[in-house]
Structure 1
């Protein structure tokens, strides 16, 4: 299983909810086995830079590649990119 985690920070605080709403559209892409969007609660003293988190699970690299190649992914990227300041992504293989 591939775990896909992406962290976003908004360029403007007032765009946080819009970013989360736009990213939630990625759930319509059929290639993930699990998908969710969350707002950072910012309770960690050192972890307040991130505003929105995308977490998804994919059965393999091919499913993740198909997800990223889907037209909804490109549409969502075009909507969110102008609103974000930071984007950090990590993909790792989980044996769980």
Structure 2
């Protein structure tokens, strides 16, 4: 299983509902075994970045993750979210 986690910050906090909406369409992509968008409630005092939204998804394998990223809804999400976001950091890890 591959766990895919992406952290986002908004350029303008008033755009958070639009960013969330743009991210939530990713949950319609059939290659995900599990998908969530969540609001970050933790203030990390050791970091200079306050994350606003988190995407968490699980995939059966790399082929499923690659198919997810190639899906037209993934491109639609990027087109709607990229102009509104400030920072994006993604991480993928496998678990047994």
Instruction: Give TM class, smaller chain.
Output: over 0.9
Structure 2 unaligned regions, length at least 5: none
Residue 43 of structure 2 contacts residue 50 of structure 2 at CA under 8 Å; is this kept in 1?
no
TM-score by length of 1: 0.93
Q: Deviation of residue 9 (structure 1)?
A: 0.2
Q: List, as ranges, runs of 4+ consecutive aligned residues in structure 1 with deviation greater than 3 Å.
A: 43-48
Alpha carbons of 1:28 and 1:92: their partners in 2 closer, same or farther (altered >3 Å)? same
1:17 maps to what in 2? Answer: 17
2:27 maps to what in 1? Answer: 27
Partner Cα distance (2:43, 2:9) in 1: 16
Structure 1 unaligned regions, length at least 5: none
* Structure 1 segment 69-84 matched on structure 2, within 5 A: 69-84=70-85
Q: CA RMSD in A?
A: 1.2
TM-score by length of 2: 0.93
* Structure 1 segment 1-96 matched on structure 2, within 5 A: 1-46=1-46, 49-95=50-96
Q: 35-44 or 64-73, which moves further after superposition?
A: 35-44
Count of matched residue pairs: 95
